[in-house]
Structure 1
Amino acid sequence: MVPHLITALNGPINELEQRLLDATPVIERWFRLEWMEHTPPLYCAVDIRNAGFKLAPVDTNLYPDGWHNLSPDTLPLAVQAAQAAIEKICPEAHNLLIVPESGKLSSFYLASLARLAEIFTMAGLNVRLGSIDPLLKRATPMTLADGQKLTLEPAQRQRFRLGLKHFDPCTILLNNDLPDGAPGILEDLHEQYLLPPLQAGWTVRRKSRHFQCYEDVSKRFGKLIGIDPWLINPLFATCGQIDIHEAYGGDCLRTHVDALLTKIRRKYKEYGIAEKPFVVVKADHGPRGMGIMTVRDVKDLADIGAKAPKAGAAPVPTGEVIIQEGVLTGERIHDAVAEPVVYMIDRYVVGGFYRIHAERGADNSLNAPGARFVPLPFAGNAHLPRPGAKGEARAPNRFYMYGVIARLAMVAASYELEATDPELLDTA
């Protein structure tokens, strides 16, 4: 199920949210059946936007950081979920190797790494950090801002196994999205579980593939509970390789932006929505927040590539791009625009936080410099939704809906990983 957490949007439950609450038994059964057939990623984080009339994921991260931003009172849930995941994967496990990002690690990332290691340590494992950064030659202790200490050690490859000196793990937890490709040190491991698998890295992964899987999931789910899938699904299009500096380089982008805006306008008219639609253009692969451009009218692209962008304007993504329906956010914390980020381990929601940005609008990406993070704490002692609650007492149930959307994205991620699994492709 989903923890009962406090959310910023305390207005009345809208029609979409009420439909999800009323269908809780059907929804939970559907998820149970999905997990009987498909394996969830070990962990992931999902960015969600709640426009009131629409509730949808806008990004799914399969190598989440930010674990230290979760409220400490949600830690027991994370530990229990980690125990459940390890019991399924390798019941006899006692050693876990976490492979972090390479290069210079920020204090933010180190704090996240410390919390992630703490979760799996409390789950009953010996946890150590093994870096695959070729520049790391020896064990390197690091002191965090709060005084905690971490030690990064160079990972060692012994024939078909990866570990450390005098440390042979059953399971290797990747917290590195491999933007430069999968290094040989991680390939062809025998009798070790590498999670997430290599095809989850950005060499193989594409956001468009994920959202195609999510679209398929949302259609089935919408039919299950009797809603229009558009209410939980951001429309999207892809544009292959583009280079705005070449002749006609922006034609594909303009065509797809125009078509997608037209589709969104039709939906807004159907539901009587007065807001102006917009789309977000971003790289089809690579970490979230990279190369994002918001477009409200195809005319904004008329001079794309013909002149230098205005000072302060977002750079136009090149290469493979995805054009995604923009989803407004109706949430605020201290007058700053906010969006929930939901964290999961195995098939369980374990908490989340709000990403807030005082200098951004409801139609902007909040994953930008200047963003702050506010943990979602428990609402009193209740950990479960209360479908029969009245009035304002129903508002905390809103996080249940966020958990449903996040888990739908996780189901889509499981489909996505199956579709790119080299072992399954070889037998197809």
Structure 2
Amino acid sequence: MSPVTDLRAELVEKISAKQKELDHWLGEQCKKAPAPPYTSIDLRDSGFKMSPVDSNIFPAGFNNICVDDWNLAASTFERVLTRVAKGKRPAKILIVPENHTSNLFYFENLWALKEILTLAKFEVVIGHLNPAFEANLPKGCTSVKTQSGRTIVLEKIIREGNLLQTERVRFDSTDLVLLNNDLSGGVPPELEGFLRSAGTAAQNPSTYAITPNSPPNLPGF
């Protein structure tokens, strides 16, 4: 093997040998400074060193997770979302995605995210706030194709008082809203009040990556 390969193999061996200790340490650090509910980090690998170069508080690459790791991803989601809901496991999750109309790779990401959350036994609805979408299914639903040719259904989000709903599925205040939208175009009227304690996405996006479906109960992270 090359020196670089030897170095990587040695590093993997050392990390694996201390996996439990590392997991415990990371868990303790998260208690002191809770991490965002989810994020993605881009790594640059030069062969002899690796460094994070970018992070995204609203990940759009769940389709890049190996299917073999979906069970781990699902169990992690279940643990994190239960923590967000103050120890009570939510039954339903409403995903609020970006307003893409033609990005098939992003739709593939939404498909994978829903599949992983469904694997964790949540009832998952992909909503949308995009006025450009025209319903092609009953009850305000729009079917779109992903990059791989799969079909996902987006449901128009409706604001009813302090709750977000869709015409097909009813949510209550114990359910969760999962934001997968950086709101770079501004906060839509349907979300006003839900994000009131967070300011703008650029200021502190992690405080509302996930929120209970009721503005008065908005948690901080």
Matches within 5 A, 1:1-400: 11-13=5-7, 17=11, 21=15, 27-52=22-47, 54-90=49-85, 91-136=88-133, 138-144=140-146, 146-165=148-167, 166-168=169-171, 170-189=175-194, 201-202=201-202, 204=203
In the alignment, the residues of structure 2 paired with residue 188 and residue 20 of structure 1 have an alpha-carbon distance, to the nearest angstrom, of 48
Q: Do the aligned partners of 1:156 and 1:163 also contact (CA within 8 Å) in 2? A: yes
Q: Which amino acid aligns with 1:31?
A: L
Please report how far the alpha carbon of residue 105 of structure 1 lies from its aligned counterpart in structure 2 after TM superposition: 3.4
Q: 1:123 to 1:26 in 2, by over 3 A?
A: closer
> Displacement, 1:19?
11
Q: CA deviation at 1:159?
A: 1.3
Q: 1:140 to 1:23 in 2, by over 3 A?
A: closer
- Give the match's secondary structure for 2:7: coil
Deviation per residue, 1:128-180 (Å, 9 max, x gap): 11112233463211233545321112111111121212421510111111111
Counterpart secondary structure, 1:43: coil
Query: SS in structure 1 opposite 2:124?
Result: strand
Counterpart contact for 1:177–1:200, Cα < 8 Å: no
User: TM-score, normalised to structure 2's length?
Assistant: 0.74
Shift of 1:68: 1.4
User: Which amino acid in 1 is paired with 2:193?
Assistant: D
Change (3 A) 1:152 1:19: closer
- Within 2, Cα distance between the matches of 1:28 and 1:103? 36
Residues 157 and 24 of structure 1, relative CA distance in 2, 3 Å threshold: same
| Deviation of 1:198 (Å) | 5.2
The equivalent residue for 2:215 is none
Distance 1:144 1:53 in 2: 37
- 3-state SS, counterpart of residue 60 of structure 2: coil
User: For the structure 1 residues 171 and 25, does the alpha-carbon distance in structure 2 shift closer, same or farther, using more than 3 Å as the test?
Assistant: closer
Work out whether residues 182 and 198 of structure 1, in 8 Å CA contact, stay in contact via their aligned partners in 2.
no
- Seen in structure 2, the aligned counterparts of structure 1 residues 39 and 184 have a Cα distance that, compared at 3 Å, is farther
Deviates further, 56-65 or 79-88: 79-88
**Structure 2: 5+ residue stretches without partners:** 135-139, 208-217
Letter in 2 for 1:160: N
Alpha-carbon spacing, 1:48–1:103, altered in 2? closer, same or farther (3 Å)? closer
Q: Is the 8 A contact 1:136 1:153 kept in 2?
A: no
Flag structure 1 segments of 5+ consecutive residues without an equivalent. Answer: 1-8, 207-412, 415-421
SS of the equivalent of 1:155 reads: strand
* Partners of 2:107 and 2:147 within 8 A in 1: no
TM-score (norm 1): 0.40
Asked if the contact 1:96/1:172 (under 8 Å) is kept, the reply is yes
Contact conserved, 1:62 with 1:200, CA < 8 A, in 2?
Answer: no
Structure 1: distance between partners of 2:35 and 2:190:
25
Partner Cα distance (1:74, 1:140) in 2 = 30
**In the aligned structure 2, how far is the partner of 1:18 from the partner of 1:127?**
36
**Contact (CA 8 Å) 2:98, 2:181: kept in 1 or not?**
yes
Q: Tell me the CA shift for residue 28 of structure 1.
A: 3.6
Q: CA deviation at 1:183?
A: 2.4
Verify the 8 A CA contact 2:4 2:48 in the aligned structure 1.
Answer: no
Q: Which has the higher contact order (CA 8 A, sep 6+)?
A: 1
The superposition leaves residues 223-257 of structure 1 with CA deviations (integer Å, 9 ceiling, x where unpaired) of xxxxxxxxxxxxxxxxxxxxxxxxxxxxxxxxxxx
> Amino acid of the residue matched to residue 13 of structure 1?
L
Aligned length: 196
Q: What per-residue deviation string (whole Å, max 9, x for no partner) do you get for residues 392-423 of structure 1? A: xxxxxxxxxxxxxxxxxxxxx79xxxxxxx99
Runs ≥4 residues deviating over 6 A: none
Measure, in 1, the Cα distance between the counterparts of 2:38 and 2:21. 24
- The structure with more radius of gyration: 1
2: CA distance, partners of 1:198 / 1:92: 24
